[in-house]
Every structure is written in C-alpha cells, then in structure tokens.
Structure 1
Amino acid sequence: MNVQGKTALVTGASRGIGRAIALELAKQNVKRLLLVARNRQRLAEVATEVEALGVEVVILALDLAQPVEVNIAIAQAWRNHGPIHLLINCAGVAHQAPFLQSRLPNVQEEIAINLMGMYTMTRLVARRMATQREGTIVNVSSLMGKVAAPTMATYSATKYAILGFTQALRGELATHNIRVIALLPSLTDTDMVRDLQWFRWVMPTTSQKVAQALVTGLQKESPEILVGWQSHLAVWCNRIAPWLLEKILLMAAPLSKDRQKRYLRFKQAGVTLR
C-alpha cells in the first residue's frame, strides 16, 4: 500500500507506538490523519508535530470502551472528512502480575481496550470500507501474541486473540478489497512498559523502528509484520523447540529465583506447582 495522499486513522496515537506511527505516516505524505486517544492534551501535542510536517490532522478524544461514543464520532468524522483508507488499531494497555496476584479490574481493562476497543473501531470502519470497496486495516498485536510469557497472562491472551481476529477478517474481507494485517512488535521502550519489570536478556526496540517496519510491511503487502531479530528468533524457537523456549522465558521472567527453581524442579518431575 502506498499511503501517499490517503486518509489514515490511528488509535492510541497520543504516545508510544501510536504516536510514532502517526509521525511516520506524516513523513510518508499521508493526506490526512485522524488521531484517536483518551487524552486530548497529548493528542494536541502530537497534532502539532504532525501539522509541522504539512499534514492535515483531526483529533478525536475517545474512550474505546464506550462504543456509542465511538460510533457517533466515527460517523461524524467520515461525513466531515471523507473516507478512511487506512485504519491502525494501536490502542492498548498492559498490566503485569503473577496470575494468582492479578486484579480483576486490570484484567477487565485489558480486555476492554486491547480487544473490545479494537473490535468496536474495526466494525465501524470496516463496514464503510466494504461499501467503498477499498481499505487496509492494521491490528497491533505483539510478540506475546505468538509467545506467551509468565506474569503477562491476560495481556498475552488479548494479543493472541487479536491475531485470531486478524486472520479471520483477512479471509472474510478480502472479497471487499480490504487487506487486514497484523503488526507484532517485541518489547518496545514506551511509556506503557516503563513501569513493568522487564524480562532478562530482552533488548527493547524503539517505537520509531516499529513505525518504520509497519510502513515497509505495508509497501510489501505483508500479512504479518514481525519486528526485530529477537522476535523472529523467538517464533522460530517456539516452532522447533517449544519446551526450550518455555524454560528460557521462565528464567527470563521477573519472578523470584527461588520460585523459578521450584517451578523447573517440579515441572521436570511432572508435578504441578501450587
């Protein structure tokens, strides 16, 4: 896809990967950007940067967990600013905790934003794309949508779900000339993850590299865009020797060393750790 002269909508555009994608699309001469996030002030700051690159910007301060609000806003935006050619579902949250210490409100937020928010936006935009018989949808999953890891159970579950959703839509929407793509970044140094305990030996990438990988993948019409050599290595290892990757992830996870040793000892003995 050549984004030049197109209109794109980016959710989660106020920071991190979403912000980087918006700026990279502006550098690629997209015609118009619709920026979606909950924080209007941060959106305005990103809009100023985008406008400096000569691109028209529309700010939509929305909570994706509120479908009626989102429905009204998208209908108005489509009417006032014309068709959307590229949708990038980037909004997401992450909470980290061992499963037995996880909190239900955090789990509900991850499902509401990462999964249901993506569904709501995609449903509204895809129906209109089908009418115009043109469009591209990018759903931002994660390496944890391919390789789940301790302390990130619910986050991984939402990212796995995004991949399944994307794969199903790719087949369904192809007849309407709509491409559906998955973007899978590895650990990315953004505001969202700085409060998390990082996994050992993982080298974080930057949001700018993720955005550049997306643009390259769009040009190549890749169905899945895996970012970074570590991601390719992890996916390859998971296919060839999943038992080995599981052990590596356990050693790398931010769990206590005593618990890691107990887990490995009990797992080797075929006993469930409680």
Structure 2
Amino acid sequence: MNINGKVALITGASKGIGQAIAYELARCGIRRLILVARNYQRLNQVAADIRQMGVEAIPLLIDLTAQREVSVIMAQAWRDYGAIDLLINCAGVAHQTPFLRSRASHVQQEMDTNVMGMYAVTSLIARRMVSRRSGTIVNVSSLMGKIAAPTMATYSATKFAIVGFTHALRLELAPHNIKVMTLLPSLTDTDMAKDLQKFRGVIPVTAEQVARACLEGLSRDSPEVLVGWQSHLAVWCSRLSPRLLEQILKFTAPRHLLYAR
C-alpha cells in the first residue's frame, strides 16, 4: 500500500503502539489521521503533535465497548472526513493473572475491547471499503496470538481470536480488492506492559519498532508481520518443538504468579 495522500483511522491512538503508528504514518506521507481513543486529553495531545508535522488530525473520543456509539460515530466520521483508506485496529487491554484467580469483569473487558470493539469498527468500515473496492485493514494482535502464555490465558484467547478473524477476513475480502494484515508484536515497552510482570529473558521491543514494522508490512502488502527476533524464534520453536517451547514458557513465566494460590 502506498500511504501518500491517504486517510487512516487508528483505534487506541492515544498511547503505546497506536500512538507510535500514528506518528510514523504522519512522517511517511499520510494526508489525514482520524484518531480514536477513550482518553481525550492524551488524544488531543497526539492530534496536536501530528498537526505540528503538517498532517491533518481529527481526535474522536469513543468507547469501543459501546457498540451503538461506535456505529453512529464511525458513520459520521466517514461522512464528515471522507473515505477511509486504511483502518488500524490497535485498541486493547490486558489483565495478567493465573486463570484460577481471574475475575469475570476483567475477562469481559478484554473480550469487549480486544475482540468485540475491533469487530464493531471493522464491520462498519469494511462494508464501506467493499463498496469502493479499495482499502486496507490492519488488526494488531500479539505474539500471544500465536503462542499462549501462562498467566495471560484470556488475553491470549483474545489475541488468538484476532489472528483467526483476520485470516478469515483476508480470504473473504480479497475478491473485493481489500487487503487485510495481522501485526504481531512481541512484548512492547508501553504503559500497558509496565503493569505486567515480565517473563524472564524476554527483551521488549519499542513501540517505534512496531510502528516501523507495520509500515514496512504495508509497503509490501504482507499478510502477517511478526515484530522482533524473539517472536520469529518463538514461532519457529513452536513449529519444530512445541514441547520444548512449553518448558521454556513454564520456566520463564513469573513464578510468584504462576504458583500463587
């Protein structure tokens, strides 16, 4: 995809990977960015930064778990700001805890934001892209969408769901000239990651690295983009020796969480 002169909508744009992708798109020639998040103060700051780079930025305060609100605001955005060429679904939440100690409210929040929020936005934008026979969709999953990790069961479940959803969507929308990509970063140094207990030996990548990988994937029309050498190594290990990988995951997992009662 050539992003020059295009319009992009990014969810989860107020911080972390979403913010980094927004800045990278602005640097690389995007014409207009529609920025979606729940934190209006941070969202406005990101929009102001992007305008300083000479790119039009529109902040939209949306709670993706409120599907009726999403439907109304997405329709208005398409009408007021023109056709969206690139959709990047980046919004997500994570709660880390052993499954037996998990809270239903946390599980519901992860499902509502990571899966249903992505579904709500994508269903509205994809239909309009199909009518134009043009567009690209990027769904941000995680390495945990390929390799489940202890203490992250429900988060992994949502990220596996995103991988499957994206793969199916890629096949379904290809006849309509819509390209669909999965972005799979490993542990990324963001505000969300700071609240997680680290797996021993895992080296975080930066949000900027993820953003650059996203743009490289777009330029090549890649169906799937892994970020970080450890991601590639882990995926290869899962294919060649899944039992070995399981032992590594058990050994590197936060032990005080894994064996807590």
Deviations 1:51-100 (A, max 9, x none): 01100011110000011111111111111111000000000000000010
Report the AA paired with residue 185 of structure 1. Answer: P
Whole-angstrom CA distance in 1 between matches of 2:66 and 2:160: 23
SS at match of 1:182: strand
Whole-angstrom CA distance in 2 between matches of 1:175 and 1:54: 35
SS at match of 1:183: strand
SS at match of 2:60: strand
TM-score (norm. length: structure 2): 0.98
Identity over aligned residues, as a percent?
63
Report the AA paired with residue 114 of structure 1. Answer: N
SS at match of 2:193: coil
Equivalences for residues 147-226 of structure 1 within 5 A: 147-226=147-226
> In the comparison of the two structures, how many residue pairs are matched?
261
Structure 2: segments with no counterpart, 5+ residues = none
Whole-angstrom CA distance in 1 between matches of 2:118 and 2:38: 14
The equivalent of 1:14 in structure 2 is 14
Any conservation in 1 of the 2:88–2:137 contact (CA below 8 Å)? yes
* CA pair 99-25 structure 1, distance change in 2 beyond 3 A: same
The equivalent of 2:109 in structure 1 is 109
TM-score (norm. length: structure 1): 0.93
Q: State the 1:171 CA deviation.
A: 0.6
Any conservation in 1 of the 2:150–2:253 contact (CA below 8 Å)? yes
Equivalences for residues 28-177 of structure 1 within 5 A: 28-177=28-177
Whole-angstrom CA distance in 2 between matches of 1:112 and 1:54: 35
Report the AA paired with residue 232 of structure 1. Answer: H
Deviations 1:30-54 (A, max 9, x none): 0000000011111000001110110
SS at match of 1:179: strand
SS at match of 1:30: coil
Measured on the aligned residues, the alpha-carbon RMSD in Å equals 1.3
Deviations 1:146-187 (A, max 9, x none): 000000000000000000000000010011110010000000
